[in-house]
């Protein structure tokens, strides 16, 4: 992927680590495969993509690596223990990376998103979805039904990467109004 992209477009300037899956369920009810898939996609994938992109960015002393995180990382929700752990791991990875990259000209930025309208829960069966939403409501996570849409998330990404160089942006929290 990287070789093809760099061959067609030149060096990578921006990486947006946005892959994410959520497998709803209580941890003791999930299969090992489901847990591994969630962690591999949400955490390990971001680490490996970042690892591949950094050498060129560091060599050129310029670049942005964005991590799409979730409010779950600081406000865990029931039925999402694996997702929450993975996103907390992403935030920890990004924080350590910021220290490792200091002085290189490369920024590691975390966008911590609130409720977002996406295909995230489309694969969940209806009974599971109802059970999850009822538990979230019981725990106070459904104050309203507003959600960020993809255009709003894209604007947040653009705002982050167009911030003046020489500024380190750490965690930007983005929620629906």
Catalytic residues, by residue number, are 83
Burial of 175 (0-12, 13-18, 19+ CB in 10 A): middle
Q: Which of 85, 94, 70 is nearest to 175 (CA)?
A: 70
User: For residues 123-162, b (16+ Cβ closer than 10 Å) or e, as one string?
Assistant: ebeeeeeebbeebbeeeebeeeeeebeeebbeebbeebbe
What whole-number distance in Å separates Cα of residue 150 and Cα of residue 155?
9
């Amino acid at each position: 992927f990287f070789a093809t992209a760099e061959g067609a477009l030149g060096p990578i300037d921006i990486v947006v680590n946005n892959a994410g899956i959520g497998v709803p369920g209580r941890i003791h009810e999930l299969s090992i495969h489901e847990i591994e898939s969630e962690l591999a996609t949400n955490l390990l994938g971001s680490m490996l993509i970042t690892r591949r992109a950094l050498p060129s960015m560091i060599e050129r002393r310029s670049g942005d690596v964005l991590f799409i995180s979730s409010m779950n990382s600081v406000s865990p929700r029931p039925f999402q223990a694996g997702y929450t752990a993975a996103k907390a791991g992403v935030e920890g990875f990004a924080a350590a990376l910021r220290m490792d990259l200091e002085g290189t000209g490369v920024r590691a930025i975390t966008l911590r998103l609130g409720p977002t309208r996406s295909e995230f829960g489309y694969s969940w069966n209806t009974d599971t979805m109802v059970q999850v939403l009822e538990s979230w409501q019981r725990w106070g996570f459904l104050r309203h039904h507003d959600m960020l849409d993809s255009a709003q998330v894209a604007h947040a990404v653009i705002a982050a990467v167009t911030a003046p160089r020489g500024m380190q942006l750490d965690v930007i929290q983005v929620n629906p109004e």
